[in-house]
Amino acid sequence: MADKDLDYYLNLPWTLIEGQDLDFEGNIYHYIEIKEIPSFVFCAKTIEKARENYINQLRLTLTVMLESGEHIIEPGELDEDEDWENICP
């Protein structure tokens, strides 16, 4: 089996978590988190822009994780009852 490279990871069916919140000035912003990558979050003024552009940050995040040899949790690999405090250092 070939090594799992950046293209492999970019094409996985990541579990996206979308939401909105207020910035420090009370303005609404939208975010996308990825369940399998607890440190990942991408923010934009609209959910449409967040959906269009989160992949660029995902590419950077995955590149750093691959270069550092960090284990990348793939979709379906997480136990629903996972202890997040043990995943997030």
Given pLDDT bands bounded at 50, 70 and 90, which one contains residue 75?
Answer: very high
Domain extent, residue 60, equals: 6-72
Domain-located, residue 77: no
Chain mean pLDDT for the chain: 90
Asked if residue 82 is part of any domain, the answer here is: no
Decide if 85 is inside a domain: no
Tokens of 35: 């369940």
Instruction: Please count the helices (runs of H) and the strands (runs of E) in the chain.
Output: 3, 3
Domain count, the chain: 1
- Residue 68's pLDDT is 96
Inside any domain, residue 80: no
| Residue 66, in any domain of the structure | yes
Q: 34: buried, middle or exposed (CB in 10 Å: 19+, 13-18, 0-12)?
A: buried
Lowest-confidence segment of 12-16, 20-24, 48-52, 77-81 by average pLDDT? 77-81
Element (H, E) at 19: strand 16-22
Closest listed residue to residue 43, CA positions, set 12, 72, 53? 53
Q: What is the pLDDT, as a whole number, of residue 1?
A: 42
**Which SS3 state, helix, strand or coil, does residue 86 take?**
helix
Place of tokens 């690999």: 77
Is position 43 within any domain?
yes
Q: Would you say residue 31 has pLDDT above 50?
A: yes
pLDDT band with cut points at 50, 70 and 90 for residue 3: confident
Quickly state the pLDDT bin for 8 (edges 50, 70, 90): very high
The helix or strand, by DSSP H or E, that contains position 59, with its residue range, turns out to be helix 47-67
